[in-house]
Amino acid sequence: MRYAEWCIAAPTLEADIAAAAMGLDDIGHSRVLYGSLRELGTPDAAADDAATYANVPYLDRPWTEWTQFVAANAVLDSAFTLMMEALANGSVDVLRTRLKKMLQEERYHTLHGRSWMQEVNAGAALERAWREALAWIGPENSDVDELHRAGRLAYGVRDLRRLLEERLEGQAAPNALEWAGWEPIRRRTQPGGIDQATLEMLQGLAEKRYMPASG
Amino acid sequence: MPYTRVHAEVHEYDVFARKTRVEPLHQVGSVVAPDDDLAMAYARATYDEERWVEMMIVPKAAIISLWAPGGDS
């Protein structure tokens, strides 16, 4: 959703189009991934309101600077892609096939993020995105490591951290994270949540306003 | 107001694609980008409206033109 908000605000026309395309890709991916949680034995996350909707804090509010977009694209998108790779190379058959096309699409998000990261100095935004990506991956010996030990995820927490660092080669890694306040379902340490208007769009409530009344 | 590019240097790339193996590649458009990575991302985002079986980009600078409309032939 945040990508799509930049479809007429990015620095070049080509970047506008890429923002729209990547936004559409990721909305599709998130819908499939939410539906895939039960394949991992995880109950569907409750997402009735902003307090329970599971998103990283970086996405709580619209971005005001292009560098924030670039940092999300280079860091958070890479972290999400690595988790998809871990699922696609894990032992759950349905995910192995379902995630293949997603990973093909994510390849272009990676190219986009990596190239723009070289073009602009995303500094503070990059550091924040990296910290939140590590929080999203979670602490060692949590659910991610349990799924890894069970073979369902091809990578554990340490693998994911290392692979993310490799993708961000040349960038300064954040200091060790404080895990106090970490929410295991929402995978974040900061309170708060996504803005109401975006939540309604993500839940399809915004579309329903225009549906004909039934009965 | 003149359009200001954010990149110090950009290159133009032609985009070629085809929908089936039996048809030849044809030019579907072009993109402008500072490097090959971004050019690939832009080409895929901009020209992904069809179910292409193949897509490729070529730096315009690599194309050797033999003749063109309006030139001496």
What pLDDT is stored for residue A33 in this prediction?
A: 86
> Per the CB < 8 Å rule, is A116 touching B46?
no
Question: Is A21's CB within 8 Å of B45's CB?
Answer: yes
Task: Return the ∠ at Cα A102 (arms to A97 and A103), rounded to 5°.
Answer: 90
Give contacts of A17 with chain B, Cβ < 8 Å: 42, 45-46
- Shortest CA gap B26–chain A (Å): 21
As a dihedral over the C-alpha atoms of residue A199, residue A61, residue A25, residue B5, rounded to 10 degrees, the angle is: 150
Higher pLDDT residue, A178 or A157?
A: A157
Band (pLDDT 50/70/90 cuts) for residue B39 is very high
Nearest CA in chain B to A115: B38
Q: pLDDT at position B1, please?
A: 40
| pLDDT of A63 above 90 | yes
- The residue-averaged pLDDT of A35-62 equals 80
**Residues of chain A above pLDDT 90, percent:** 63
Instruction: Look up the CATH superfamily of A4-174+191-208.
Output: Ferritin, core subunit, four-helix bundle (1.20.1260.10)
Does any domain span residue B66? no
Predicted pLDDT at A31: 84
Which value, to the nearest 10 degrees, does the dihedral of the CA atoms of residues A151, A142, A135, A173 take?
-70
Number of domains in chain B: 1
Chain-chain contact of A114 with B31 (C-beta, under 8 angstroms): no
Spell out the domain ranges in chain A: 4-174+191-208
pLDDT for A214 equals 63
Q: Is residue A47 over pLDDT 70?
A: no
Q: Picking from A39-53, A63-77, A80-94, A130-144, which range would have the lowest pLDDT averaged per residue?
A: A39-53
Q: Is the dihedral of CA A27, A31, A32, A34 positive or negative?
A: positive
Determine the pLDDT at residue B4.
45
Q: Say whether residue A12 is in contact with chain B using an 8 A CB cutoff.
A: yes
Closest by CA to A156, choosing from A83, A76, A54, is A83
Residues of B in contact with A20 (CB under 8 A): 45
Quick check: A172 pLDDT over 60? Answer: yes
By residue range, what is the domain housing residue B46? 11-61
The answer to whether residues A109 and A80 touch, using CB atoms and an 8 Å cutoff, is no
Q: Which residue has the higher pLDDT, B16 or A214?
A: B16
Contact residues, chain B, for A11 at CB < 8 Å? 6
This prediction's pTM = 0.89
Q: State how beta strands B11-18 and B54-59 pair.
A: antiparallel
In a domain, B18, yes or no: yes
Give the torsion sign (CA, A203, A57, A139, A73): positive
Bigger pLDDT: B58 vs A186: B58
Residue A46 confidence (pLDDT) above 70: no
CATH at residue B16: 3.10.20
Q: What is the pLDDT of residues A19-31, one digit of tens each?
A: 999 999 998 998 8
Residue of B nearest to A66 (CA): B6
Predicted ipTM?
A: 0.83
Query: Do residues A22 and A2 make contact, with C-beta atoms less than 8 angstroms apart?
Result: no
pLDDT tens-digit series, residues A96-109: 888 988 999 999 99
Q: Give the mean pLDDT of chain A.
A: 90
Q: How far is the alpha carbon of B61 from chain A, nearest alpha carbon, in Å?
A: 19
* The pair of three-digit structure tokens given for residue A142, joined into one six-digit string: 């949590």
